[in-house]
Amino acid sequence: MSDTALSAIRDDDFERIRTVLVAAVRKLCPAWLSAQVDDLVQDAMIRVIEARKRSETDEALRASYLWRAAHSAVIDEIRRRQRRPETAFDPEAPDPASLGPGPERRAADREAGDALRDCLQTLIDSRRSAVLLYLHGHGVARIAELRQWNHKRAKNLIYRGLADLRDCMAKKGFDRGERR
């Protein structure tokens, strides 16, 4: 990191920004990437510094931007490794495949994943949207806010959507996401 880049951030801010980035990267980093935490923090820090240089304001130093930069750094690295797995080779690093499920389990997961996607596709639009947001981790209140529904409508759509999803999965021979 160049002195010019570092000068975009005051010295007394630097360590505190770094602690936020470390926290965020550690939160997101999968086990097979854990050896790369320092590199990912560095990557996120560079994103923050670049954003700070582009902006006249301190927006890039706000916590919300720091978390966002960490998110982007981790996601980009996961993608890079998944698309070019050969670059992940490091004799001292754990093999991602060895940390994950075996081939049979992966095949079963692939089959269940395909069934889940098929079933979600069959849901009516509003229910699919509600269920997807729910499965991505949003709560009912947040879903209502994002979709501009009232709370009751959001809750009903999730409830009915999940019921439809379960029925569909059952017809395909799955119970709770597992082959019966």
DSSP-derived 3-state class of residue 170: helix
Instruction: For residue 178, give the H/E element and its range.
Output: strand 178-179
Q: Which of residues 3-22 bind other proteins (CB under 8 A)?
A: 13, 16-17, 19-20, 22
| List 35, 93, 97, 141, residue binding other proteins (CB under 8 A) | 141
What Rg, from alpha-carbon coordinates, does the chain have?
A: 21
136 touches other proteins by CB under 8 A: yes
* Closest to other proteins by CB, 5 or 160: 160
The strand pairing partners of 142, in sequence order, are none
Residue 28 as a binder of other proteins (CB under 8 A): the answer is yes
Kindly list the residues in this chain that would bind other proteins in the complex (CB under 8 A): 13, 16-17, 19-20, 22-24, 26-28, 58, 61-64, 66-68, 70-72, 74-76, 78-79, 82-83, 109-110, 112-113, 116-117, 120-121, 128-129, 132-142, 144-148, 151, 155, 158-159, 162-163, 165-166, 176-178
